[in-house]
Each structure stands twice: as structure tokens, then as C-alpha cells.
Amino acid sequence: MTTNTYIAGKGWLYRFDPRAKLLLMLLMCVWFFLPVTLLHLALVVALVVLVGAHSTGWHHAWRTVYSISPMLLFMILFMPFNVREGVPLVSIGSFTVITKEGLEQALRLMSRFIGITYVCTLLFATTVMHEVMLTLRWYHLPYKASLVVTLAFTYIPFIADSFSQISESHRLREAEDEQKKKVGQRLKDLVPTLTSALVVALRSIPNLAMSLEMRGFGRQERRSSYHSLDAYHHVCTNFLLACIIPLAFWLASMLF
């Protein structure tokens, strides 16, 4: 199981301060909901994808769009039929199948959806996970919460690996072909696998608690940290840019 979303690279997005990047991501998500024309929305989405792909590569951009393609297909198939009013584009006799407004709304939703998905993915593709955690702590996420997330990421591969091994060993004991079973039987057969995997996971809780205590968790002294966001320079400039970029897009959409 892959839990790392970071893609190594050298683009300007990698040098952008993660704190400002998070703010930029949130502001861009808000921007996609502003009342701008479809052309402006599509242009900004295209620009975001272009800039992002320049940093993380076209493969990542394609993979992101591909992962949401079923939803996009659903939108383009059904949205135009739901909006009945407006200029008819396709009609069968007196029945209007697709209107200009319906098609426009479908395209607007698709653009907005691609935009939001891509900016969210871009943040995690260009920022390593411990910097995301430091960023959230900078925004006053409590220490315990960030510790829980970090520990969860540490345990995900262990539990996933245990689950796969248990699942394989249960499958080897079964004579019947998995494909030939009915859904109900397959779900019933899943119970021993899930139970075993859960017991393995739960057994690690006391050990983890003990190791946390041994490492001084819960003591009053401030804990030392090896990681920091000091390597990022021009923090103020980055924050300013994070505010200016969405504002510039909005002003451009108003003027042109």
C-alpha cells in the first residue's frame, strides 16, 4: 500500500513555503466557487494544471484527472438533461434533450471539480508529510493530534501488510474458487480475515503506549524536534503571493 503522496521535484511549488501553500490552496478552492464566466474558470483551471504539471510532471496531472474521470463522465452524461430551461441545442420533436445552459453548467461543474481536486492533490504532491504536519502545527493544530496522524501513518503499512498475509493464508485454506462464490458467502468468509487482522492490530496498542511513555510522552518539558520549516525563506513574500494570485485571477476575470 502506498501512503506517500510526495513526488520529488525542483519546481517553484517545491520552494514555496508550505504554510503559504496551504493558504493558497484554500483560497483557490474558494476562488473556484466565485461567480466568474465559464471561459475564465476553464482558463484558470488550465493554468493551474499547466503550472502544476510543470512542477510534478504530466503523469501526475493525468493520474489525478484519471482518478476522478468516472465522476466527470457522470456529470457530462447527466447534467445537461437536468437543466431544461434555455436555448435548445439538441431536440427530438418538441422534446428538448440538451440546452445550452445545461451544457454550460456541466462544463462549469467539471472545471470546478478538476480545479479543486488538482490544487488539493498538488499540495500533498509537492510537500513532504512531516512538513504538512509542521504546517498544521504552525496553524495551531495540537501536538497530540499531529502525533496521532504521524503514528497512524507509521502503522498503516504494518496493518496493511498483516491484512494481506492473513487474507492470503485464509484464501489458501479454501478449496472453492473465490469468483464462483455469491456475494453473501464472500462477505461471510471475510469475517475471520477481518477478525484476525484486527486482533493483530489491537495487540500493538499496549506496546505502542509503553514506547510512548518510555520516550517521555506526557512529561511537562517541551519536546525537542529535529524538523523545522526554517529552510524556507521569504515567508512573508510567499504569503503575499498566496493572497495576490487568487486576487489577480479574480480581477482579471472582472476586467477581461
Pick 94 or 207: Cβ nearer another protein: 207
C-beta of 58 vs 74, nearer to another protein: 74
Please give the torsion angle defined by the CA atoms of residues 226, 222, 129 and 160, in that order, rounded to the nearest 10 degrees: 110
- Min dist CB 114 to another protein, Å, is 10
Q: Cβ of residue 42: shortest distance to another protein, in angstroms?
A: 18
In this complex, which beta carbon is closest to another protein, that of residue 5 or of residue 96? Answer: 5
d(CA 204, CA 42): 49
Length of the chain: 256
Minimum Å gap between C-beta 41 and another protein is: 15
The CA-based diameter of the chain, rounded to the nearest angstrom, is 78
SS3 160: helix
Write down the residue that cell numbers 503571493 correspond to. 241
Q: Of 5 and 9, which CB lies nearer to another protein in the complex structure?
A: 5
In angstroms, what is the minimal distance from the CB of 196 to another protein? 8
- Residue whose C-alpha is closest to residue 118's, from 34, 44, 18: 44
Q: 93 or 218, CB closer to another protein?
A: 218
Which residues here bind another protein, judged by CB under 8 A? 1-3, 5, 63-64, 67-68, 70-71, 73-75, 78-79, 82, 109, 113, 116-117, 120-121, 123-124, 144, 147-149, 151-156, 158-160, 163, 187, 190-192, 194-199, 201-206, 208-210, 212-213, 217-219
Exposed, middle or buried by CB within 10 Å (0-12, 13-18, 19+), for 224?
exposed
Distance of CA 6 to the CA centre of its chain: 12
Residue tagged 489491537 (cell numbers): 202
Q: Least separation, in Å, of the C-beta of 199 and another protein? A: 5
Shortest gap between Cβ of 256 and another protein (angstroms)? 28
Nearer to another protein, 155 or 244 (CB): 155
Rounded alpha-carbon distances, angstroms, from residue 40 to 45, 55, 64, 249: 9, 23, 22, 9
